[in-house]
Amino acid sequence: MATTSQDGAVWLEAANATLNASASFDRPPRCALDGTWGRWGRWPSPVGLTLGILAVLVAQVVLVLYHYARLRWCATRRVQTDARPYAFTEGMLSHFANLGGILMMVAYLIVTWMLDVMPCSYYHYDGGVRWWMVGAQVCSQDFLMFALHLFEHKGPLGPEFYRKSHKPHHRFVNPRLFDAFDGSVPDTFCMILIPLATTAQLLHANVWEYMLFGSLWSSWLCLIHSEVHHPWDAAFRYLGLGTAADHHVHHRTFIYNYGHTMMWWDRLAGTYRKPELIRQFNKSDDYERRGEAVSDFEPSPPPAADPLAPAAPAAPANGAPKQRRSASPAVRKRAA
């Protein structure tokens, strides 16, 4: 009996030692980096993660200020003919607080960084920025988004998957800048997070390139949802890069322009449609300046009346009796 107890104690001790060894926080880290910014013991340092999130946040704040300044003080031209009035503050708050958008991407960044699943290069702070790497990340992200966008629309999972994933985003047939990340959780997971994770595994950038890519790409995705044209749109169209008008084509038709920051994939696949061919789009060269109306985004006031035109009859003052129309002779005869 004593022998059995001793054997059991030895077995428990061996099992406990094995578990402790497997769960030890003293084992060598997966990515051995020098400097406190690289590792905090066994875990990645959150410094790079924090810097990256702050970089994207600063870029988004600059984007909002740019959009406000353009609508408030600059003459702009709408992408589509119909105006879409909205409260600027409401749009901004919905943009930053949407569960299926920015909040979900921040959660993805925290999980993938702190669980140490990113390639080791992403935890490096040496080497500076290689611009070709940033461009390669944008190209990879957009190509994968194009493929998964097409998959959501026409993939083998059928219309039921489309209705639950991407269709909620398509309620915006005349989108505004703040609608960029307003989608469902399955849509964000399929069309944004999967391409982000795949791009990270394919292209081994450093932390500076990763945060620059995230800042540029997220801002660009917002810009193509803008309700007004941007000053650089003509140059982007020439280079085949995505513009607000190009992406509005997809929101209006659903069957063209599946790319986002680049129209190259649509041209190769035969799914590109020029914005000027869409009937609902604004083809005039008229610009408008909203001025103070941008604060609450009331519809733009009507154009000033021509001073040489004949004056319209004045409307009766409030409370004044309305003039009755005189009855015709036939009516007066019947009344008599």
Q: Does any domain span residue 287?
A: no
Q: CA-to-CA distance for 299 and 86, rounded, in angstroms?
A: 9
Q: CA-to-CA distance for 10 and 37, rounded, in angstroms?
A: 42
Backbone angles phi, psi at 179, to 5 degrees: -90, 0
pLDDT at position 332 is 43
Q: pTM of the prediction?
A: 0.77
Q: CA-to-CA distance for 187 and 169, rounded, in angstroms?
A: 8
Q: Does any domain span residue 233?
A: yes
CA 50 to chain CA centroid, Å, is: 20
Q: Does any domain span residue 27?
A: no
Q: What residue numbers bound the domain in which 242 lies? A: 39-279
pLDDT tens by residue, the chain, 336 residues? 445 455 544 554 554 444 344 444 444 566 765 544 567 777 888 999 999 999 999 999 999 999 999 999 999 999 999 988 888 999 999 898 887 788 899 999 999 999 999 998 999 888 889 999 999 999 999 999 999 999 999 988 889 999 999 999 999 999 999 999 998 999 999 999 999 999 999 999 999 999 999 999 999 999 999 999 999 999 999 999 999 999 999 999 999 999 999 999 999 999 999 999 999 898 887 777 766 556 554 444 444 443 344 444 544 444 444 444 444 444 344 444
Q: Does any domain span residue 305?
A: no
Q: Tally the domains of the chain.
A: 1
Q: Does any domain span residue 8?
A: no
CB atoms within 10 A of CB 84: 15
Q: Does any domain span residue 291?
A: no
pLDDT at position 124 is 86
Q: Does any domain span residue 112?
A: yes
CB atoms within 10 A of CB 117: 14
Q: Does any domain span residue 318?
A: no
Q: What is the DSSP letter of 30?
A: S
* Closest C-alpha among 226, 219, 231 to residue 251: 226
